[in-house]
Amino acid sequence: MIDMSNDQDKMTDMQNYFRTQAIGSNKRNRTRSTLIDSAIDVFSEKGIEEASVHEITAIAGLANGTFYNHFKDKDELALASSEAIALEIAKALDGRMSDLDRGVSRVVVASWAFLRITLSADAWARVLVGQYLRHPTTEAAAFRYMQGDIERAVAQGELDVEVDAFLLEQIAAVMMAALRRMLRVGPQTEVLNRTCENILRLLGLTPVQAEREVARVSGHALLESLERFTLID
């Protein structure tokens, strides 16, 4: 799935990511996935506001009428695209963290890796940020994974925090601010670490505790392996 390198062939694969994943499924799923891939391409280049349905369907090789069989309008497609991106990365990370039981460590690893992997696919990062700025929301399925990791840490007695929609909104705001920053200046370890520390502080840790937790995880073999993690084989 996502490649951390700059290989052009891999980037081409990313442009066809969801339609590739839909191979073997029914025609409706394949068409929907094609529209999502095409939308990501157009949204990342022109911005969601400036993109048109016609541009999306032209790249997809589909008629405008086909578009409206799957989506009510461009806004619905933008939401579906951002949710598909976030959920795909979150599911993949959750699978890779299956042997990591400690909730606090899972929060740090997942936050750090989610940002780093998203940034490796520039178009995906731009769509996530663009959609968030238009309609901030934490109702997407991807947030269930973050919520689950926080609740695990609470159950383990390492956090004492109410896990509600407002808390998730605050975490999302921190992560999107980091994505926006690194889209401008490139991935930076300092920004990644500070983001994880700020998330832990939102969860009730002191600055010293948060810094210690991030330092503790930074040398974890899992985090090092995620630097080479690819969604595309």
Q: pLDDT tens digits, residue range 24-55? A: 999 999 999 999 999 999 999 999 999 999 99
Q: Report the interhelical angle of 122-134 vs 103-120 (nearest 10°).
A: 110
CA distances from 70 to 97, 105, 135, 174, 178 (A): 34, 39, 21, 33, 33
Rounded CA-CA distance 38/22 in Å is 14
Q: Using a cut of 0.85, tell me whether the model's pTM lies above it.
A: yes
Residue 92 lies in a domain: yes
Residue 211 lies in a domain: yes
- Identify the residue with better confidence: 218 or 125: 125
Residue 3 lies in a domain: no
Query: Are 42 and 56 spatial neighbours (Cβ–Cβ below 8 Å)?
Result: yes
Three-class secondary structure of residue 158 per DSSP: coil
Q: For residue 140, is pLDDT > 90? A: no
Residues shown for the chain: 233
Rounded CA-CA distance 63/128 in Å is 26
Q: What is the pLDDT of residues 165-211, one digit of tens each?
A: 899 999 999 999 999 999 999 989 999 999 999 999 999 999 999 99
Give the count of domains, the chain. Answer: 1
Residue 232 lies in a domain: no
pLDDT interval class at 139 (50, 70, 90): low
Residue 69 lies in a domain: yes
Q: For residue 6, is pLDDT > 50? A: no
Query: Are 78 and 134 spatial neighbours (Cβ–Cβ below 8 Å)?
Result: yes
Range of the domain at 173: 8-226
Query: Are 168 and 202 spatial neighbours (Cβ–Cβ below 8 Å)?
Result: no
Residue 233 lies in a domain: no
Give the burial class of 196: count Cβ atoms within 10 A of its Cβ; 0-12 exposed, 13-18 middle, 19 or more buried.
buried
Query: Are 134 and 48 spatial neighbours (Cβ–Cβ below 8 Å)?
Result: yes
Q: What is the pLDDT of residues 61-91, one digit of tens each?
A: 999 999 999 999 999 999 999 999 999 999 8
Residue 2 lies in a domain: no
CATH number where 208 lies:
1.10.357.10
Residue 36 lies in a domain: yes
